[in-house]
Structure 1
Amino acid sequence: MTDIPPTTRRRLWPLYLMPTLLLIAAIGWSLFWFVSASQVDRIVDNWRAREAAAGRVYECGDRTVAGFPFRLEVRCTDASVALTSQTAEQVASRTPLTAKLGEILVVAQIYDPRLLIAEFKGPASFADRGRPTSMVLNWATARSSVAGLPGPPQRVALVFDAPALDRVDGATQTPLARARHAEMHARQVEGPAPDQQRIETDFRFEGASIQELHPLLAELFDANLRVTLSGLKDFRPKPWPERFRELQAAGGRIEITQARIQQGGMIATAIGALGLTPAGNVDGELQMVVAGLDQVIPKLGIDKVLEQGVSQSTLDRLAPGVRANDVNNVLGALDRAIPGLGRVVRQNANVGVAAGINALGQEATLEGRPARAVPLRFVDGAVMLGPIKVAQMKPLF
């Protein structure tokens, strides 16, 4: 039998070194992945606890963690969230709203478990607890990201492609809102002092429409909006009505630093600051610049109101302080003096309203087009375009 020289045996150890190192690295990486997976699970649980303290209770029928070796994936099926005290109406009624959806997939890179990216599978159904579904939200894709967990989130983003919200009445679904694309981005920003924190939020809508709110919003529009909430004392989890109440008590402001909406040939921009009254109503003024104002006035419905006669409740909405009897009597007198004259005035009401608003504003230029600068006032929740009340906002708390 031939013996292997000692020098040959000594040279074999490099052949085992690399596999040994790879095995150790694989074991170490596996341990690191499982430790990180437990951390993501803990982060999700902490986030759920924070949301529950703010009146948003998330539940998961079945939760699994996967993604080895380079990602961390938390999959939640049969997901639901119970919303309580998120609006002034919910605070008053104490009725929680429950939303259910099929699946939520939360993904984190193993090297940065504090950044969570989520995908949602629709549709989502909404119902008051113990009652049938009242609304359904569907979409093509829905994604979100949250950075800064497990502490207060530093950045939050939510993006929808083709969202569609419907009202459900038995077997009938009625469209409430549509958009080709919608997204929201929120982040913490430094205030003038360490104890004066702010939240800056950007909204973007493309090809959007909203029914049952105002005729102006029923037709397709694109909008970009940047809002900054100032006067916040902290970012502890709490329902929005409670946060708005604290903001009002601290003299905080809702700053519109950038706003643009385009609908057909009409383009409008606005900037300004709004406050809150002790009753929770929005109060303040925005400076608007509008190109194509003549296309907006007919959508306010002034001509139809006058053609049908003016009720006091309708007139209070459109022109507070004017008595319905005065308007109807004047139009009737015109008809008696010259038959048909009152109808002419009614049919040209929009021209008169536009002229009145133009008289209040100033000439301006917007994106190279002739425009008009007019004030958009919020008076204890009432939205006033010049002398016309175009909407009424509900209290925020």
Structure 2
Amino acid sequence: MTEHTLPTRRRLWPLFLMPALLLVAAIAWSGFWFFSVAQVDRIVDSWRAREAAAGRAYDCGDRSIAGFPFRLEVRCTDASVALTSQTAEQVASQTPVTAKLAEILVVSQIYQPSLLIAEFKGPAIFADRGQPPSLQLNWVSARSSAAGLPGPPERVSLVFEAPALDRLGGATPLPLARARHVEMHARQLEGPAGAAPRIETDFQFEGASVQDVHPLLAELFDAHLRVVLSGLKDFRPKPWPQRFRELQAAGGRIEITQARIQQGEMIATAIGALGLTPAGNVDGELQMVVAGLDKVIPKLGIDKVLEEGVSQSTLDRLAPGVRANDVNNVLGALDRAIPGLGRVVRQNANVGVAAGINALGQEATLEGRPARAVPLRFVDGAVMLGPIKVAQMKPLF
């Protein structure tokens, strides 16, 4: 007799288990994403309130959030900021400086919420205290990143490609500053527990030029500057004059650990430290090493000053303590003694000044080239290259 075995029934529920789990995970992930969207609105509104209390009122014409499922993209069009009491000139006035930006896009990955990456679309338009727009900043691309959020950021970076700053108001924009590439990186240095924070900042400029500040800056230059800032009490938003006052009261310093600038055949490096006086002026000394110093002296315009006659105000800027009458009388006496001799002295003034600075400095070598080590001093806001006053900085508060 033959036995027949009945076929066993196959269980069907394992076939539906994986799709069901995927569906539950998708629903949970969607819920988490939309919950994160709600948190973004709350965080942004809280941040705007803190900034407004510090005199920086941010607004967004249209804000939207996208990026589902793995990241958050916050897009703000027609962005604007109104700054009150951010500079020393504004302290007496509560009318804000306003800046408008075409668009800001901030991106955060769901799995890495402590890192924010932002892109900016220009131009940025600036208007001073209720006046018509006065400045315009444009660029090919601009982006930033901040790590370590939502607390004080551990690292911040800002990169511009081909930034261009123009003054508005005339028939055509007036160029003020240009660069091929600009970078800024900042990070908080580790220190003893309870110690005041120290910030290291790295600036890089390629193919840069600045107009209407000093002739030396009007020609293209490359620069790399690394500084360490100490004396910060906290990272709370506050007006710049208040920040600088706190730095001065705490004995804050700007330590320049690396600085290099190249302009044509001239190369200069510097290290040193700067501080602030009770009046808000920059004070300190940098040790500079310069190759091609003779290429810099003509750009100070000393020969033109002497050729046109020396006013006391101009001489105070170039060589404090020397009387204009004495200089003009000597040059006039040379002309009377030997006609034309005074003019020769005027035309060769730069050679004499360069020789004088070389005599004060020490021989050195910079990147394989002969160079001179010269002190660059900041005396209560005055910028002194050796004995020559080359600029005067405004107080920071």
Report the counterpart of residue 54 of structure 2 in structure 1. 54
Report the counterpart of residue 242 of structure 1 in structure 2. 242
Alpha-carbon spacing, 1:119–1:75, altered in 2? closer, same or farther (3 Å): same
Report the counterpart of residue 255 of structure 2 in structure 1. 255
Report the counterpart of residue 155 of structure 2 in structure 1. 155
How far apart are residue 86 of structure 1 and its match? 1.9
Partners of 2:222 and 2:53 lie apart in 1 by 35
Report the counterpart of residue 392 of structure 1 in structure 2. 392
**Paired AA for residue 152 in structure 2:** P
Contact 1:364 1:372 in 2 (8 A): yes
Query: What are the Cα deviations for residues 73-102 of structure 1, in whole angstroms up to 9, with x where unaligned?
Result: 001011001112222122244442100011
Q: Unpaired runs of 5+ in structure 2?
A: 1-5
Alpha-carbon spacing, 1:13–1:139, altered in 2? closer, same or farther (3 Å): same
> Does 1:361 find its partner at 2:373?
no
How far apart are residue 170 of structure 1 and its match? 3.8
Partners of 1:13 and 1:6 lie apart in 2 by 18
Report the counterpart of residue 21 of structure 1 in structure 2. 21
Alpha-carbon spacing, 1:78–1:345, altered in 2? closer, same or farther (3 Å): same
Alignment of 1:49-88 (within 5 A): 49-88=49-88
Contact 1:47 1:149 in 2 (8 A): no
Compute the RMSD of aligned alpha carbons. Answer: 1.5
**Paired AA for residue 175 in structure 1:** P
> Does 1:100 find its partner at 2:108?
no
Query: What are the Cα deviations for residues 176-218 of structure 1, in whole angstroms up to 9, with x where unaligned?
Result: 0000001111222234562322122111100000000000000
Contact 2:95 2:130 in 1 (8 A): no
Question: TM-score, normalised to structure 1's length?
Answer: 0.95
Partners of 2:337 and 2:127 lie apart in 1 by 58
Q: Unpaired runs of 5+ in structure 1?
A: none
Report the counterpart of residue 297 of structure 1 in structure 2. 297
Contact 1:319 1:389 in 2 (8 A): yes
Contact 1:358 1:372 in 2 (8 A): yes
Partners of 1:306 and 1:106 lie apart in 2 by 55
- Is 229-238 or 89-98 further displaced after alignment? 89-98
> Does 1:173 find its partner at 2:164?
no
Partners of 1:46 and 1:277 lie apart in 2 by 36
Alpha-carbon spacing, 1:192–1:257, altered in 2? closer, same or farther (3 Å): farther
Report the counterpart of residue 280 of structure 2 in structure 1. 280
Partners of 2:255 and 2:53 lie apart in 1 by 27
Consecutive aligned runs of 4 or more in structure 1 exceeding 4 Å deviation: none
- Is 236-245 or 301-310 further displaced after alignment? 236-245
Partners of 1:21 and 1:7 lie apart in 2 by 27
Report the counterpart of residue 330 of structure 1 in structure 2. 330
**Paired AA for residue 141 in structure 2:** T
How far apart are residue 35 of structure 1 and its match? 1.8
Partners of 2:144 and 2:35 lie apart in 1 by 24
Partners of 1:284 and 1:192 lie apart in 2 by 26
**Paired AA for residue 233 in structure 2:** K
Contact 2:83 2:96 in 1 (8 A): yes
Partners of 2:7 and 2:12 lie apart in 1 by 10
The share of aligned pairs that are identical, in percent, is 87
How far apart are residue 140 of structure 1 and its match? 0.2
How many positions carry a matched residue from both structures?
A: 392
How far apart are residue 39 of structure 1 and its match? 2.7
Report the counterpart of residue 270 of structure 1 in structure 2. 270
Contact 1:36 1:113 in 2 (8 A): no
How far apart are residue 64 of structure 1 and its match? 0.8
- 3-state SS in 1 of match to 2:91: helix
Contact 1:181 1:206 in 2 (8 A): yes
Report the counterpart of residue 136 of structure 1 in structure 2. 136
- 3-state SS in 2 of match to 1:134: strand
Report the counterpart of residue 306 of structure 1 in structure 2. 306
Partners of 1:318 and 1:6 lie apart in 2 by 107
**Paired AA for residue 124 in structure 1:** A
Question: TM-score, normalised to structure 2's length?
Answer: 0.95
Partners of 1:237 and 1:153 lie apart in 2 by 13
- 3-state SS in 1 of match to 2:310: coil
- 3-state SS in 2 of match to 1:37: helix
Partners of 2:301 and 2:192 lie apart in 1 by 44
Report the counterpart of residue 344 of structure 2 in structure 1. 344
Contact 1:195 1:233 in 2 (8 A): no
Partners of 2:133 and 2:52 lie apart in 1 by 22
**Paired AA for residue 75 in structure 2:** R
Report the counterpart of residue 319 of structure 2 in structure 1. 319
How far apart are residue 135 of structure 1 and its match? 0.5
Partners of 1:227 and 1:92 lie apart in 2 by 31
Partners of 1:52 and 1:153 lie apart in 2 by 20
**Paired AA for residue 181 in structure 2:** H
Query: What are the Cα deviations for residues 329-362 of structure 1, in whole angstroms up to 9, with x where unaligned?
Result: 1001000100010010000000000011011110
How far apart are residue 271 of structure 1 and its match? 0.5
Partners of 1:51 and 1:158 lie apart in 2 by 20
Contact 1:46 1:150 in 2 (8 A): no
- 3-state SS in 1 of match to 2:375: strand
